[in-house]
Amino acid sequence: MAVINNMAQIGSALGYADVSMFISLTNIWGVFRTDHFRHGFQALSQRLREKVHNKILASEVSLLEPPATAVVENGEAGTPRPLWNAASQMLMAVGFLLMALAVPGCLYIGSIVVGFCYGVRLAVTVPVASELFGLKCYGLLYNVLILNLPMGSFLFSGLLAGYLYVLQHQEVGIPVWDPIVTVSCGLLYDFTAYSECKAQPEEPLYQGGILKDEPPIMRPSIIGETATGFYTPAFVLNNLTVGNVYCFSTWIRIQGSNSALIRATLKTENRTYDCVGTVLAKDECWSFLKGGFVLDSPSNLSLLLFQNSDGKDIDITIASASLQPFTDEEWSINQQYIINTKRKRAVTIHVSDQQGNRLQGAAITIDQVSKDFPFGSAIAHTILGNLPYQNWFVERFNAAVFENELKWDATEPDQGKTNYTTADLMLEFVRAHQIITRGHNIFWEDPKYTPAWVRNLTGSELKSAVNSRIQSLMSKYKEEFIHWDVSNEMLHWDFYEQRLGPDATLHFYETAHEADPLATLFMNEFNVVETCSDVKSTVDTFIERIRDLEHGGMYMNGIGLESHFTVPNPPLMRAVLDKLATLGLPIWLTEVDISSKVGKELQGVYLEQVLREGFSHPWVNGIMLWTALHPKGCYQMCLTDENFKNLPAGDVVDNLLKEWETGEMEGVTDEYGSYSFYGFLGEYKVNVGYGNRTADSTFSLSRGDETRHFSIHL
């Protein structure tokens, strides 16, 4: 399988649409050589066995130390089995090298050589081992010899060919992770999710996974560590493994209440995972719950319970349950598959002369000059006049958000006295470096962050103040900011709706859209992807709130997930994103950081998990870090110290930024005058040289399923 996998990858990289020919050549020549050698070696081994046996009897040499050569009847020395095996092994290495070096025509030759050598080895190993050494040592020796087959495949095909294959891809710009091969290397994650209540449940994902044909049992409900006295459906799970990622889903219907927040809880021998998924279930239809968990210690016996989050007794019915484990490798493969198919695209550059003749051997240099995917960080007024900070920021990020400088208490601390000086200077900085910027925020529902003078207003005075705020801010910065967080954290607080009525938020969005119709208006919230334990901001609560506002005519087209994590739960995070994606709105991770409580080393570990999940989800359109640097540090997590020396989180960011860019590539056009590569989406510049002629050009690589073709004339 290792050999076949490498054949498929190398063949795909060299442009072969069908690599089955090479697999067929290997198998045909393997069978051909096995058949021919088997008959020859049966006769030879019979003679060798007789002579060796006589020699052993004469010299009383141990069976475990057979002579190096054997004499046949005509007096000539026979070639011993180890030499045949060694010769075939060395020739097989040549075959693997040919495939790995990707020389034109190499796969045809390499496939024949490898198949030939497998035939020789199989023909030699089994009959000679059994006939030379007899049954006494047969089992041990046979296992040692047969283990030589997968070990050789691993060493030569897996390590050597793989290493050379990576080098070849780095030279020509073809991605090491081919999307087609990636799918076949492991279980493909199912992004399916539902946010509408249905009359009947859908079929289970993964055909149920390890819960296939497993009915739930009724167990006492547990809230925290306390039994409620009620019974609730649960699954008994055996032998859960540390390191595996477990994704589960089920359909739920309730009786005894119009609606209820159903929480999935995992209880192992060592601890209780209070929330690994939620759904806002109803009594008239089936609701879809999707979640997941990763264990920090192995569990021989666990319970996955589905219970009412408020502890009240209701009837819970579940159907189409599924629990699917993924290994770390499979999880990473799925992430890389989405990156290759959604964040990258195939490109073919065609080079010809002015008459349209294709030019083979033209030298090409390609450089990605900007990235399509927005990856940025919060900045504060501390960046103004701080050249080292500015240089550090510009070298890394293509997006920014002002940490506090646009908030109402910063721009109008006293009624009627607006001051945008700091925000203007920060805007000049990002504009000068072509950095896109989010507007954060127009209103903050938390009274603690509302200006003191606003908290003292009521009725018409408050309404006049909020209208003035929108008009002042939006007219001044019209078309400057790509997004606006209109009513920040409205699921946790409702300061304005309490004073202005239930339509206050709807009015905010309508007025903001009229003031700046090109800006994307966001609903920004915390504890949506970070955890499912916060009953105020579960994924279904978020979805329900957006739909309520949309039904009222609100113009909103963006989902902002703050992403302030402590210990991330990657499968839960992905499940929440899947469900939010059913709204069809772009999703941004807007304020990503990791709590300082876990320490700097774990901040780096957890940050990488979050960033990889975000970048590899097809509905996430941008990522913003909440790492504005101040003299005394950052809100929760810094990327560097005060001297801009990387902390662990900074190393993670730098490594991922490098991994997620195409960089500079050099190559030559093929016999068709073309050069192909997979590149990350963004802007590119290309230089082509042929003889004494050169040409420079640029092209854009945007999302698309088809290969992007670009032509250059010399």
Q: Dump pLDDT digits (tens) for 189-237.
A: 999 999 999 999 999 999 999 999 999 999 877 665 666 567 899 999 9
Between CA 539 and CA 193 the distance in angstroms is: 12
591 in active site: yes
4, 91, 701 from 88: Cα distances, Å: 19, 5, 47
> Are the C-beta atoms of 305 and 293 separated by less than 8 Å?
no
Supply the pLDDT for residue 312: 82
210, 235, 302, 320, 321 from 213: Cα distances, Å: 9, 12, 18, 10, 9
Coil vs helix vs strand at 632: coil
Supply the pLDDT for residue 94: 76
* pLDDT score of 510 more than 90: yes
| pLDDT tens column, 122-138 | 566 655 555 555 544 54
When pLDDT is cut at 50, 70 and 90, the band that residue 112 belongs to is confident
Q: Which residues pair with 280 in a beta bridge?
A: 261
Supply the pLDDT for residue 624: 98
Between CA 361 and CA 674 the distance in angstroms is: 9
**Residue 72 main-chain phi, psi, to 5 deg:** -95, 175
* pLDDT score of 73 more than 90: no
Please name which of 371, 452, 416, 431 lies closest in space to residue 659, comparing C-alpha atoms. 371
| pLDDT tens column, 248-307 | 999 999 998 999 999 999 999 999 999 999 999 999 899 999 999 999 999 999 999 999
Question: Which of 131, 403, 591, 608 does the annotation list as catalytic?
Answer: 591
Least confident of 176-190, 321-335, 352-366, 681-695: 176-190
When pLDDT is cut at 50, 70 and 90, the band that residue 526 belongs to is very high
Q: How many residues does the chain have?
A: 714
* pLDDT score of 609 more than 80: yes
What's the mean pLDDT in 167-181? 43
What secondary structure does DSSP assign to 57-109, as a single string? Answer: HHHT--TTS--S-EE-TTSPEEPPHHHHHHHHHHHHHHHHHHHHHT-TTHHHH
For residue 700, the 8-state DSSP code is E
> Are the C-beta atoms of 292 and 248 separated by less than 8 Å?
yes
**Strands, sheet with 259-267, edge to edge from the N-terminal-most edge strand:** 217-223, 226-240, 299-308, 259-267, 272-282
pTM attached to this predicted model: 0.77
Question: Which of 489, 510, 525, 608 does the annotation list as catalytic?
Answer: 489
* pLDDT score of 470 more than 60: yes
706 in active site: no
Q: CA angle 410-546-468, nearest 5°?
A: 35
Q: CA angle 97-26-336, nearest 5°?
A: 65
| pLDDT tens column, 357-409 | 999 999 999 999 999 999 999 999 999 999 999 999 999 999 999 999 999 99
Please name which of 241, 247, 236 lies closest in space to residue 289, comparing C-alpha atoms. 247
